[in-house]
Amino acid sequence: MAQCVQSVQELIPDSFVPCVAALCSEEAERLTRLNHLSFAELLKPFSRLTSEVHMRDPNNQLHIIKNLKIAVSNIITQPPQPGAIRKLLNDVVSGSQPAEGLVANVITAGDYDLNISATTPWFESYRETFLQSMPASDHEFLNHYLACMLVASSSEAEPVEQFSKLSQEQHQIQHNSDYSYPKWFIPNTLKYYVLLHDVSSGDEQRAESIYEEMKQKYGTQGCYLLKINSRTSNRASDEQIPDPWSQYLQKNSIQNQESYEDGPGTITSNKNSDNNLLSLDGLDNEVKDGLPNNFRAHPLQLDSSSDPSNSIDGPDHVKSTSLLHETKKANTGIIHGACLTLTDHDRIRQFIQEFTFRGLLPHIEKTIRQLNDQLISRKGLSRSLFSATKKWFSGSKVPEKGINELKNTSGLLYPPEAPELQIRKMADLCFLVQHYDLAYSCYHTAKKDFLNDQAMLYAAGALEMAAVSAFLHPGAPRPYPAHYMDTAIQTYRDICKNMVLAERCVLLSAEILKSQSKYSEAAALLIRLTSEDSDLRSALLLEQAAHCFINMKSPMVRKYAFHMILAGHRFSKAGQKKHALRCYCQAMQVYKGKGWSLAEDHINFTIGRQSYTLRQLDNAVSAFRHILINESKQSAAQQGSFLREYLYVYKNVSQLSPDGPLPQLPLPYINSSATRVFFGHDRRPADGEKQAATHISLDQEYDYESSQQWRELEEQVVALVNKGVIPSNFHPTQYCLNSYSDNSRFPLAVVEEPITVEMAFRNPLKVPLLLTDLSLLWKFQPKDFSGKNNEVKELVISKPEMIGAEVISEFLINSEESKVARLKLFPHHIGELHILGVVYNLGTIQGSTTIDGIGALPGCHAGNHCLSMTVRGRQDLEIQGPRLNNTKEEKTSIKYGPDRRLDPIITEEMPLLEVFFIHFPTGLLCGEIRKAYVEFVNVSKCPLTGLKVVSKRPEFFTFGGNTAVLTPLSPSASENCSAYKTVVTDSTSVCAALTSSASSVDFGIGTGSQPEVIPVPLPDTVLLPGASVQLPMWLRGPDEEGVHEINFLFYYESVKRQPKIRHRILRHTAVVCTSRSLNVRATACRSNSLEDEEGRGGNMLVFVDVENVNTSEAGVKEFHIVQVSSSSKHWKLQKSVNLSENKDAKLASREKGKFCFKAVRCKEKEAATQSSEKYTFADIIFGNEQIISSASPCADFFYRSLSFELKKPPAQPSVQTEKQSVEDAVRLIQKCSEVDLNIVVLWKAYVVEDSKQLILEGQHHVILRAIGKEAFSYPQKQEPPEMELLKFFRPENTTVSSRPSVEQLSNLIKASLHYPESFNHPFHQKSLCLVPVTLLLSNCSKADVDVIVDLRHKTTSPEALEIHGSFTWLGQTQYKLQLKSEEIHTLQLKACFVHTGVYNLGTPRVFAKLSDQDTVFETSQQNSMPALIIINNV
């Protein structure tokens, strides 16, 4: 139980005090009424004695009484009605609320910190009123009248006569059988005569004389002269006199301090508010007319106008109370005791003292003696007589029976003079004067007698008081007999069905147990008495039980909370809304955040309901909000109900302050970090053959790698524009901001271009949410970035001339669904924009769920208007930036950077480019050339310039060369609308080469340029507003098969320089799927033939293998090789050496073709202008049309395939001199074997598609770098290097050997033998056959070379002889020569044969070294082919 102001030792004596009746004449009543008090009320503040009192017990022992208090009340002849008592108790509880600003106790139990009010003043008020208003009953005498004051006024005509009248009246009330109420303690009641004298108006002499007369008649002990009203009431304002009556009157009057909330603001007012001030003392505020002593009804009588059903505890009881202000007026306007001075106060105090000392206590002492004597004298006779009678009738003495065996004999009544009752009377008297020892023994005796007689009501009363007496006995020789109380409670409740007495027992016993710290037993006792018959009592007892649980040595927190909830529920049923709300809030501290979500929901729901009823709308809103924002485990119907209640309450809140700020709504959840912001227009859909650039849109997922690639592309083009340096203030353009992008700077948006904000909503409920009129909430600060700042304006209200906002009229989020909404803003002015959040109406769908069993709030019927109820509110978008982790301070603390994606700066107009691709293919063969068109449109109001496109795959596309001559504008009227520039050739011409030349600079590829950045050839380099330009674009399928994503980044600038944005970009990702077509491989080798038309310079054979690797799914029937072209600075193809006369080179599926071409060096004049980057193109045609390979697009793609070779930096000249000569030598030797001949194979493919025949065309490139080394048109897969064992020792020579490889040395000198293929010799005439052979040695390098020719056969093994056959060289066997740069030398040799046969002449071994080198690189020059000669016999 909670702490109380009074201890139990003070509480019980104050609850059971001697009762005194007061009977006043009308004149006397008038005198006291001048003070707005009845006589009984006048005495009330002074009814406690200030000093100790002494009396003697029957054994003549002195007994001291401390703090004695008496209760004086007007005689009332009607017992109080139970309904009225209930109403009084209800009002007392509702009138007592926790004080404002009361500091609550903080109790820490386990991991709970609870704020709990330590005291419960409403319970104490209830208890005091309950004990005071208990009706008198026959089985106990504690509240029977012991004495009666008869009061008359000195101003009456015949006061003495008036006294005798009053005396008769009292006698009549006590002894006439018409009056069963009130109850009197003993037949000869003490009568005390009081003469009231009004000092201010009365005659003092007369009063004194009357008093003398009274003393003669009634004796000095039996009368008193009380002087009051020492001043007139109109002087009241002069000095302030304390008012000790207010606290007593307030407690007992049903007037309340606070108005009731009976629903939404209805307070029932009563016209006769004065009559409504019922008090415990039976006088109304005015004296009624009629006879002086017409005994009025009991003040607790219910008004006939009041609720006839007396259902005080009904939950919806509408209390009939006065209006708040009337009540206040009635209370504050009246000054009690206005005619009394402090002297009068002392006189009244003195009067009570006199009455008690002289009248009441001697009377009680005498009565106790009499009763004691009676009992002693009667004991022998009547006790034995009684028991004898019993024995005759029942056979033997009845033992004390257990309560459960006893029959329901509570109906047994004793006559008033029965000896058992005399014992009880004596016990009660002793108890009232605090003689607990004697009282206990009397109660104990009476208890035995009552139990013997099975008079259960009497027995229970004796048990109850025996237990209390035992506890209060100061010496406490015996422990508190709690089982007495338990038996008494059970008897009252179960046998006598008297809940009022049972309740008194429980209240007393619980207090006693609490004082002994037996909280557990006290709680059990309190809980036992909760029942359905009174909600108020059950609520108060449950609350006290809860306090017991929390006050235990080890507090039981959850039990406390559970019983608080039960108490709150019962308070709610009893109509005590404030107390109910308080209980639920106290319990919530325990259940909050412990994962008991259903319990939390229930409590929050109830708190919301009660707060709403009490018009605490903000609390109601926050409670309902909690139910909705926690992850609810409720059913869909329940959630729907919660949501509707919430909306209903919110509606009421917003109606109270329609102009207030928009409230924050709890639903739906917004995942603010997932918010994405997009600057710019939505992408246009594809329109037939027109396909818009993909650019960036909110539909694309973020990919870190691709964003890095785009960033690199942008950096490349910015660096090129800024002369190779990226400016320090450069930041990559970001059109779409999300949680991955860098949001630390204010993003830049362009005026008149929309800003789209995508928000991720999630509905946590199982019921759908309908958001209507959804739009963004923003504030805007217009600024002029060039000049001075304008005044700062906060524009939260929609000003469409500044910022237009899109509104989504309906946005439905289904149950437990996550859904994104995209909202646009249209800035029409430059300045700073801040997007704050969203504003919308929240509602549910009509009829989505049925109303649950809880019952809707008043005004919320199950009609359409309730289910479709909406409230307007907002939610803010607050995005936490990334955690900072750079400095030491940031690493050690948790700091977050800013996230500014919602705060764009609106800048001036910029050009806006749109790009459309027309006839852009999605599938190509490898190497296939296709022509498409690109349309550039400027959709803004500013001209744009400096348009460039940058791509990582420049070999994929071209816009044609720089000169118009080289670029075919439209396909020429040739046989098949080819993408190439073609010329019809004369069919008679042999397969000889047609040459032309072109410079790589014309195609945008020089040594210093960046091939990835390609300027777009706009006419006049400017695109005006609204203008559009179509340009041709040639595409070539990449050489690897598969799916290729090719990124284009278009870069452009405004003609007018902007301070904030320097350039803009547009992205496009083309996806092309390529399938296999041809594989081309080529090798070059030295020609051994002598027929060199130019004499020197040398020539080569080029072998080209073409294989059709196309799988037939592309529908390709066959490939035609239409032309093979060469391109080089030094070499050109001269003619085709194919043997077959069939000019048409067709390759069906999986076929292979082999071509052989003769290549010659270009003439000096052609090759001289090397620095001009001129390439010579030679075309060998297999069809009847020449494709001009030096024009677009053939040359473009050829140069692009070369471009990454050109990007390689030239080798740096070495610094170290001792090594330099060696390295130079190596370089010279390497140069011999180098060729830079590039082969372009052009082809057509015939495809059948939808029974139509299409012709595709394409080209493959092979770059020949060295003689004898095979080159391929398709990238070779590199084999991973095999694992090597680790070497743990240091190699001695760390310098890299710079010896040239054998292969390179073998190409230093070219040796060829010239001889007849067959030779006839008559062996029978001449046995030796001599054949002349010419050995041709040519120096391929630019340096002097020393050569050694050794003709001796290697005698390695007999097998070698077999191969060479037996022939010998005649003459010199070794020659030493020096060949100058590129010199050709001939040696005449003779070979000698002795048999016919086939011989290999290729045996001479040639050694070479550079003549100016000390180091000798000597190695045999291997001949590439065997030189076979046939010797015939003639």
Task: For residue range 194-215, list pLDDT tens digits in order.
Answer: 999 988 888 889 899 999 999 9
Element (H, E) at 309: none
What is the pLDDT, as a whole number, of residue 1358? 55
Q: Which of 992, 969, 1008 is nearest to 1158 (CA)?
A: 992
If DSSP codes are grouped into helix, strand and coil, which group holds residue 605? Answer: helix
DSSP letter string, 1182-1212: SSSEEE-TTSTTHHHHHHHHHHHHHTSPPPP
Mean pLDDT of the 510-515 span = 92
DSSP state letter for 403: T
* 665 — pLDDT class (breaks 50, 70, 90): confident
φ/ψ of 244, rounded to 5, equals -80, -5
Tell me which of 386-400, 702-716, 1081-1095 is least confident: 386-400
Strand partners, 1087: none
Residue 1044, pLDDT above cutoff 90: yes
Cβ-contact 256, 94 below 8 angstroms: yes
User: What does the mean pLDDT of the chain come to?
Assistant: 79
SS (HEC) of 671-727: CHHHCEEEECCCCCCCECCEEECCCCCCCCCCCHHHHHHHHHHHHHHHHHHCCCCCC
- Closest to 1233 in 3D by CA, of 1128, 1130, 1307, 1129: 1307
- Residue 299: helix, strand or coil by DSSP? coil
Q: Which amino acid belongs to residue 1343?
A: A
Maximum average pLDDT range among 718-722, 843-847, 970-974, 1204-1208: 718-722
Condensed to tens digits (0 to 9), the pLDDT of residues 159-179 reads 889 999 999 999 998 888 888
Tens digits of per-residue pLDDT, 738-754?
988 888 899 999 999 99
Res 913: pLDDT = 92
As a whole number, mean pLDDT of residues 1378-1389 equals: 83
Separation between Cα atoms, residue 821 and residue 669, nearest integer Å:
13
User: What's the CA gap between 819 and 1401, in Å, rounded?
Assistant: 87
Question: Is the model's pLDDT at 94 over the cut of 50?
Answer: yes
Cross-strand partners of 1073: 923, 1043
Whole-number pLDDT of residue 467 = 93
Q: What is the spatial distance between Cα 1135 and Cα 20, in angstroms, rounded to a whole number? A: 148
Higher pLDDT, 1112 or 771: 771
Q: How far is 374 from 385, CA to CA, in rounded Å?
A: 16
In the block, tokens 């709308």 appear at: 617
Residue 1353: predicted pLDDT: 72
Q: Which two tokens stand for residue 774?
A: 């959804």
- pLDDT value for 1013: 85
User: Tokens 């009138």 belong to which residue?
Assistant: 95
**All residues at 6 or more sequence positions from 1375 whose CB lies less than 8 Å from its CB, including other chains:** 1347, 1348, 1349, 1387
Q: Which pLDDT band, with edges at 50, 70 and 90, does 464 fall under?
A: very high
pLDDT tens-digit map of 1310-1324: 777 888 888 888 988
Q: What is the band of 782 on the pLDDT scale with cuts at 50, 70, 90?
A: confident
Average pLDDT over residues 868-880: 86
Q: What is the b/e burial string over 1-32, where b = at least 16 CB atoms within 10 angstroms of the residue's CB?
A: bbebeeebeebbbbbbbbbbbbbbbebbbebb
1227: tokens are 């370089």
What ranges make up the beta strands (E) of 851-920? Answer: 870-876, 905-907, 913-918
Mean per-residue pLDDT, 1130-1159: 79
* Percent of the residues in the chain that have a pLDDT greater than 70, as a whole number: 78
Q: Which residues pair with 596 in a beta bridge?
A: none
CB neighbours of residue 1137 within 10 Å = 14
* Cα radius of gyration (the chain): 60
Query: Model confidence at 1418, in pLDDT bands (50, 70, 90)?
Result: low
Least confident of 157-171, 387-401, 987-1001, 1209-1223: 387-401
pLDDT in tens, 51-86: 898 998 888 888 999 889 999 999 888 888 888 888
| pLDDT of residue 1196 exceeding 90 | no
Note the Cα 1295 to chain centre separation in Å. 65
In the numeric block, the tokens 């005649």 are attached to: 1370
| Of 269-278, 578-587, 749-758, the least confident | 269-278
pLDDT at 508 over 50: yes
Q: Kindly report the CA angle at 1425 between 1419 and 1427, in degrees rounded to 5?
A: 105
DSSP state of 987: T
Please give the average per-residue pLDDT across 800-805, as a whole number.
81
- Look at residue 386 in the predicted model and tell me its pLDDT: 42
Tell me the C-alpha distance between 546 and 566, whole Å. 9
pLDDT of residue 1221: 66
